[in-house]
Structure 1
Amino acid sequence: MPDLAPARSGPLCDDKDEDQLDRWLAGKPIERKVPPLTRRLQRWSQENWGAVTCFLIAMLGVSGIAAHAMQNSVVAQRQLADERAAHATTREQAEQRDEQLRLLVDSAQIKARALGKQLDQARLESRRDLSLRLADEATRLEQAAPQRSLMLAAESVQIARDSRHFPAAGAVQVLFDQLQDQSRLRASGHSDVVRSIAFSGDGTMWASGGDDNRAILHSFDGRRTSIPLEAHWSRVSQVKFSPDSRKLATASFDATICLWDVRSSEVAQSPVVLSGHDERVLSIDFSADSRWLLSSAQAAPGSPSEILLWDLQAKGHPQVTQTLGQHFGRVHAAQLSPDGRWAFTASADGFVQLWRLNPKSGDRMTVAMRAQHGLTDRVCFSPDSSQLVTVSEGSNGECVIRRWQLGEMIRPETIATLKIAPLAADVDFKNENVVIGGQRGELKVVNWNLRTITPVVGHEQRIQLVRFLPDGALASVDQQGLVRRTLLGGKDEMALGVKLPQVTGQIEAAAISADGQWVAVTNEKREVMIRQLDPTILMGVAFDRLQSLSGDVEVIASQPSEERR
């Protein structure tokens, strides 16, 4: 019979078993040792080789399934990544297309707006050309067909106004010429030269003063006739209304100042006489609240000029609260700040003084600054009294413009130096402009912020008056009666110049109302002319005048607007 027992490949006992036998024969304890894990596993696998085989087959199957699943997962991830990349590319392309579309839309809108502006500009230019053609036709027909000329001129001004252009000077000149009765040319009522004209702040009155020792109060509404104010025995040097339009102050060479209550029905019978001066009173100036009055008089030989500060609300009678002296020469400028806390004086001695009201000493004023700045004729305080601008003439005939910051520290700075003799000046603090008028019709506008000097041309005679109007325009009057209304626009300023047709000879005095609507001039023949300065007012008067015409009028202009019919 064959031996079914597995053959042993080695000895019956290994060396370790012999060592255990030797230890037992020697009487030593036998160490029981656990067979190694590998031998145990080997023995277990020999005993359970079928189960191991099944387990290995199962593991191989699971491994295959796992590998297949992993492969499918990798493929799915790759497909998902590809899909995401494709989606990102598509979205990027869509965003690029959207951006290109937006750029095209924006470009189309910009081009449409530019085209619209060009069309609007073309329309405005065509309206401007129509306005100019109507103005030329109105000028041509002024003598032959006055009514048609007036219609054309009014339409020209209306079209220019609607198209945001300045009216043509020819059309406005026709309005001025054809509406002569609107100029209110009259004998002034004076028997000698008129030296001063002033408008009231409320626009209801105006006054004049002259060498015949009289002042005359005039009314705009015609409710009362001109009232002569006779209280001086010498020349009236200046007339000025208080800011509240309740009083009229007249200064005279008889060394007195008269205050007239213009609201009273007996205004000519009740003047308040201020007699604090000893010499000719040259100038007067009110504070903005109408409480304070600053007056200056000519200096007596060897004595300082008299500059007095009056409190018009003192009990009983206006009182002198301070005498400002220290000027040895004719006072060329004496002005109060709007808040009444500063006074500026300048004299022919070349010195200027700035006085500050000291609250700790009542109503008295103290000298804040004294300096030699040359002949200073023009002084303008800002509406908030925080600064002032002075215009001085140097020894070489140059014009020096300074701006003063008023506060605890007074810092005058030189804005500009011009080669022009300053005969007239005004300041526009809002737009930071100063205008200077000269002997030969020069007009220069200085902007102290931009440091620019803009010449304004159009005058050829001595500048008599310059004023910045509330609408920002510049009004100027020369010695021959040429009135110009200029819109300052940098290099392309737009100007309107008209000659006042009724006034002949040299202009002695000129004034412009506070609202900029009226201009008054008087000449050496004692004639006074008051008329509107704004051409749009004359345009309305022209349309109203044409409504009242009877008979057929041939119209070659466009229809007037409803509000003008």
Structure 2
Amino acid sequence: MQQIKAREQRQQLQMQQQLQFVQQHGQIQKRDGSYQNNRKRKQSASGAANSTGTGNTIGPSISPPSTPSIHTSGDGGALGGGLQQVNNMPKSLMMYSTDGAGGLVSSSNQLVQDDMENFGDVSSLDNVESILSHDDGETRDVFSAFTRSPTAFTFQEVGRICTSNSKVVCCHFSSDGKLLASAGHEKKVVLWNMDTLKTESTPEGHALIITDIRFRPSSTQLATSSFDRTVRLWDAAKPDYLVKTYSGHNFPVMSLDFHPKKTDLFCSCDGNGEMRYWNINQISCTRISKGGTAQVRFQPRIGQYLAAAADNMVSVFDVETDRKSYTLQGHGKEVHSVCWDANGEYLASVSQDSVRVWSIRNGDLVHELSSNGNKFHSCIFHPTYSNLLIIGGYQSLELWNMTENKCMTVQGHDGLIAALAQSPVSGMVASASHDTSVKLWR
């Protein structure tokens, strides 16, 4: 009887986790155990949002503005005035308008069929819309009315990749910035060469959707987590070669990340809050802990801390001792994403209603921004400007200058922006969306 009761409890917890994922990414489980989307048709960007519980249909209907908009989120100076650069990269005075030749590629008139049982092949180069060079289109100094210093920055769309008719929920750059990996409902990894935007490889293997993808530091290897309760290790240099499969989680694996220094170590978390530490050379995990259900991310460079998001809080663990150093609380809704700044001094956490930035020195809250109904979901620190946070919401990107507490909204996608990635080497930013595309920004 106790075994039956325990099994029923596990099944109930698993169904709750799946329901949460439905609300975020639009997927339901059928009686035979397979999965399909509970949304058959995607509304155009200019149409009214028609929500059936999926993450990319809820939220306000946003029409693309003719130019990026700037607004004040508090008392402060200009968005461009207080930006701080990293790695001594050059600044630009101008930003391209979205109605110029280098502007956004609209797909608002497309109707996307998200049937999980029918997957098409990865699109060919004909489906890649790339604007890799600066065109001679209209430009506009969008900071002219606000900027108090002669410096601003460039942020424009430079490429667009259509993968298939399935939602993209995760993406990540390799350490050298030459490869971008994306994945999601299609259950396979798509690797893109950043010089040509051609498909490098498309290894397959997961039985259910992929929830997270991460490159091993300074390596061609990458790992994926999935609803099929496994983590899989691939080698991009050997496109069809699956290196290892790691099993042990009893619930869908929601996220994983590699240690920045001990690169043979990675951590994964599942929907029941279990975190497993793995050595890539071993099939069994080396340590089991509790604390993360949505996402795990190691502190960059030194990897002393691991940030784990669960419910409406973030736990920060000391990796060596496996002791909790901080519990970061204050979000009113579930935390979807976390990200570190380049130096590992600050941690940003994103929930639907707000984004919060914390100091890792003492665990104090240092910045906070309300979503104002935009339904935030993802975030990343800009690869060039250390005090600029890029936030992905429903259809639009929010560029937040934390020093000046100023924001700029840029129309980005036709659906929820589920994940963001950046490459300090190339200065590129990638956004992955439920509208089935990955966009590149610089």
The CA deviation at 1:353 is 0.7
Checking the alignment, whether the CA contact within 8 Å between 1:519 and 1:530 is kept in structure 2 is yes
Relative distance call for 1:312 and 1:365 in structure 2 (3 A) is farther
Checking the alignment, whether the CA contact within 8 Å between 1:415 and 1:448 is kept in structure 2 is no
Structure 1 residues 345-354 or 239-248, which shifts more?
239-248
Aligned-partner SS, 2:352: coil
Structure-2 separation of matches of 1:343 and 1:354: 6
State which of 303, 326, 334 in structure 1 corresponds to 2:256.
334
In the other structure, the counterpart of 1:91 is none
Higher helix share: 1
Is the aligned partner of 1:291 residue 2:208?
no
Checking the alignment, whether the CA contact within 8 Å between 1:183 and 1:530 is kept in structure 2 is no
**Aligned 1:456-467 pairs, distance under 5 A:** 456-457=368-369, 459-461=371-373, 462-467=375-380
Checking the alignment, whether the CA contact within 8 Å between 1:286 and 1:294 is kept in structure 2 is yes
Higher strand share: 2
Structure-1 separation of matches of 2:360 and 2:167: 39
- Higher RCO (CA < 8 A, seq sep 6+): 2
**Aligned 1:231-310 pairs, distance under 5 A:** 238-251=170-183, 253=185, 255-259=187-191, 267=198, 272-299=201-228, 305-310=229-234
The CA deviation at 1:378 is 2.4
**Aligned 1:441-480 pairs, distance under 5 A:** 442-457=354-369, 459-461=371-373, 462-469=375-382, 470-477=384-391, 478-479=393-394
The CA deviation at 1:346 is 0.7
Checking the alignment, whether the CA contact within 8 Å between 2:167 and 2:434 is kept in structure 1 is no
The CA deviation at 1:245 is 3.9
Q: Give the letter aligned to residue 481 of structure 1.
A: S
Structure-2 separation of matches of 1:512 and 1:229: 17
State which of 318, 322, 327 in structure 2 corresponds to 1:404.
318
**Aligned 1:440-519 pairs, distance under 5 A:** 440=353, 442-457=354-369, 459-461=371-373, 462-469=375-382, 470-477=384-391, 478-479=393-394, 481=396, 483-488=398-403, 494-500=404-410, 507-509=416-418, 511=420, 513-515=422-424
CA RMSD of aligned residues (A): 4.5
Aligned-partner SS, 2:285: strand
The CA deviation at 1:456 is 2.1
Structure-2 separation of matches of 1:229 and 1:313: 23
Q: Give the letter aligned to residue 132 of structure 2.
A: D
Relative distance call for 1:334 and 1:218 in structure 2 (3 A) is farther
State which of 314, 332, 335 in structure 2 corresponds to 1:422.
335
Checking the alignment, whether the CA contact within 8 Å between 1:187 and 1:527 is kept in structure 2 is no
Structure-2 separation of matches of 1:353 and 1:227: 35
Pick the structure with greater CA Rg: 1
In the other structure, the counterpart of 1:368 is 286
Q: TM-score, normalised by structure 1?
A: 0.47
Aligned-partner SS, 2:277: strand
Aligned-partner SS, 2:100: helix
In the other structure, the counterpart of 2:10 is none
Is the aligned partner of 1:350 residue 2:268?
no
What CA deviation, in whole Å up to 9, does each residue of 1:137-186 have, x standing for no partner?
Answer: xxxxxxxxxxxxxxxxxxxxxx9799x6679xxxxxxx879673166111
Checking the alignment, whether the CA contact within 8 Å between 1:356 and 1:368 is kept in structure 2 is yes
Structure-1 separation of matches of 2:357 and 2:79: 25
The CA deviation at 1:479 is 2.8
Structure-2 separation of matches of 1:242 and 1:378: 19
Which structure 2 segments of 5+ residues have no match? 1-76, 85-93, 135-157
How many residues get paired? 322
Structure-2 separation of matches of 1:323 and 1:372: 22
Q: Give the letter aligned to residue 383 of structure 1.
A: P
Structure-1 separation of matches of 2:407 and 2:209: 38
In the other structure, the counterpart of 2:9 is none
Provide the identity percentage.
Answer: 16
State which of 379, 387, 390 in structure 1 corresponds to 2:307.
390
Relative distance call for 1:450 and 1:180 in structure 2 (3 A) is same
Checking the alignment, whether the CA contact within 8 Å between 1:184 and 1:529 is kept in structure 2 is no
The CA deviation at 1:523 is 7.8
The CA deviation at 1:284 is 2.3
Aligned-partner SS, 1:279: coil
Q: Give the letter aligned to residue 336 of structure 2.
A: L
